[in-house]
Amino acid sequence: MLGEYLENVRKKSPLVHNITNYVTVNDVANIILACGASPIMSDEPDDVEDITSICVALNINIGTLRKRSIESMHLAAKKAASLGHILVLDPVGAGASTLRTTTAASLLEEVSFTLIRGNVSELKALALGSRSTKGVDADAADVVTDENLDQMVNFAKTYAKAADCVIAMTGAIDLVANASSCYVIRNGRKEMSSITGTGCQLSGLSAAFLAANPEHPLEAAAAAVCTMGLAGEIGYSYMHPEDGNSTYRNRIIDAVYNMNGSTLDKGAKYEIR
């Protein structure tokens, strides 16, 4: 059952360093707090090595790149790797521009990440060199469906083996895989796509889950993905006709804040392949 991985986050309250994009930084911090962990944000080159040294996990998100933040990502990643910390990479928009794709690729060449979390287009850009990304969103053709599920599960496992880490491929159906196993997760609502930053939030959430459960990275990542999707379902159930995407964002964070292991175990919808 996945609920124990959420309970471990609340018990251990890991400190997570986030170098994330300025569009969603506040929401990332709030959802990490909501799950019981502690966030700290720093992207200044003179600061990041000290900050990441006092944490147990590093979440890198390339959504709004600047030369300073790219330097900081490399410095922090090398420091975190040298300390044996959890490392999460969110390659936002990989495949949409040369800078984004090469930045993600260079980070992957430099250190070993624990988890790469992205949509299908972003992961294909890194694994296959394709460029089907639509801005920071997946291309319409890159959708996991019941018809192509076997193919996508195989792709996720193959890339996980090649990258030597856990892969979280998120979309209408979420896949969380290592080289031998894949969680096929069906939590969430389509309305979550109307909110900027649910993917960024999930990467921060994943870093917290992995930090609290370092011996079980696959299961911890699957638990984080189920938690986010279930929060989307619970949050939507409290929506009123006059509510919009801003209210929905807050209800998702509140749902994570109020979730416990039992709720997650009852609501998680997944199979393992």
Mind giving me the DSSP string for 39-92?
EEE---TTTHHHHHHT-SEEEEE-TT--HHHHHHHHHHHHHHHHTT-EEEEE-T
The pTM for the full model equals 0.95
Residue 80: CA count within 13 A, CB half-sphere: 33
* Residue that is written with structure tokens 């992957």 in the block: 108
Task: State the pLDDT at residue 17.
Answer: 98
pLDDT at res. 130: 62
**Contact call for residues 62 and 100 (beta carbons, < 8 A):** yes
Q: Any idea which fold 3-272 has? A: UDP-N-acetylmuramoyl-L-alanine:D-glutamate ligase (3.40.1190)
- Please say whether the beta carbons of 185 and 229 come within 8 A: yes
Q: Is 196 exposed, middle or buried (0-12, 13-18, 19+ CB in 10 A)?
A: middle
Distant-in-sequence, close-in-space partners of 203: CB < 8 Å, separation ≥ 6: 20, 28, 59, 61, 88, 90, 117
Question: From CA 212, how far away is CA 102, in angstroms rounded?
Answer: 30
Residue 250: phi, psi to the nearest 5?
-65, -35
Domain coordinates of the chain in residue numbers? Answer: 3-272
Tens digits of pLDDT across the chain (273 residues):
999 999 999 999 999 999 999 999 999 999 999 999 999 999 999 999 999 999 999 999 999 999 999 999 999 999 999 999 999 999 999 999 999 999 999 999 999 999 999 999 999 999 987 655 545 555 556 789 999 999 999 999 999 999 999 999 999 999 999 999 999 999 999 999 999 999 999 999 999 999 999 999 999 999 999 999 999 999 999 999 999 999 999 999 999 999 999 999 999 999 999
Residue type, 217: P
Instruction: Quote the pLDDT of residue 142.
Output: 72
Question: To 10 degrees, what angle do helices 67-82 and 98-110 make?
Answer: 20
Q: How far apart are CA 111 and CA 106, in angstroms?
A: 9
Of the chain, the end-to-end C-alpha distance in Å amounts to 16
In this prediction, residue 54 carries a pLDDT of 98
Q: Specify the pLDDT at position 168.
A: 98
